[in-house]
Amino acid sequence: MNKLIKLENAGILILCFMINLELGYAWWIFLLFFLVPDLSMIGYSVNTKLGALLYNLVHHQGLAILIGLAGYYLSIRPLLFAGLILLAHSALDRVFGYGLKYSDDFKHTHLGWIGKQNNA
């Protein structure tokens, strides 16, 4: 099942990148903003509960889609771009096995424990 999730999210990532190009943004603009969602991990400097809350908010694919759709329907291109970046970034995280976080430990995700052999 994990291989299917990874394949599905690889497709989402590619689709987001292609939509980015179709919107007329340069590939390097996409890459420039691609890691911005990881700034949400700053919450872990306070504690794991706040870290998980911020991380999950920024890495939730449903929220990314809502932001992108809002940008599309309201004709706000930067909002659409933000939705694409959030969705693409979270998709790549899923490809690498990083899921939404539980508040007890950064490595405890909805996809299993990061780094555990049985998680491959």
Could you tell me if 50 and 40 are in contact, meaning their C-beta atoms sit under 8 angstroms apart?
Answer: no
Could you tell me if 6 and 24 are in contact, meaning their C-beta atoms sit under 8 angstroms apart?
Answer: no
The 10s digit of each residue's pLDDT in 59-116 is 999 999 999 999 999 999 999 999 999 999 999 999 998 989 999 988 888 888 887 6
Task: Single out the residue of 32, 50, 34 nearest to residue 42, CA to CA.
Answer: 50
The 10s digit of each residue's pLDDT in 21-42 is 999 999 999 999 999 999 999 9
* Residue 109, SS3 per DSSP: strand
| φ, ψ at 113 (rounded to 5°) | -85, 130
Q: In total, how many domains does the chain have?
A: 1
In this prediction, residue 120 carries a pLDDT of 46
In this prediction, residue 114 carries a pLDDT of 83
Write out the residue range of the structural domain in which residue 47 sits. Answer: 2-119
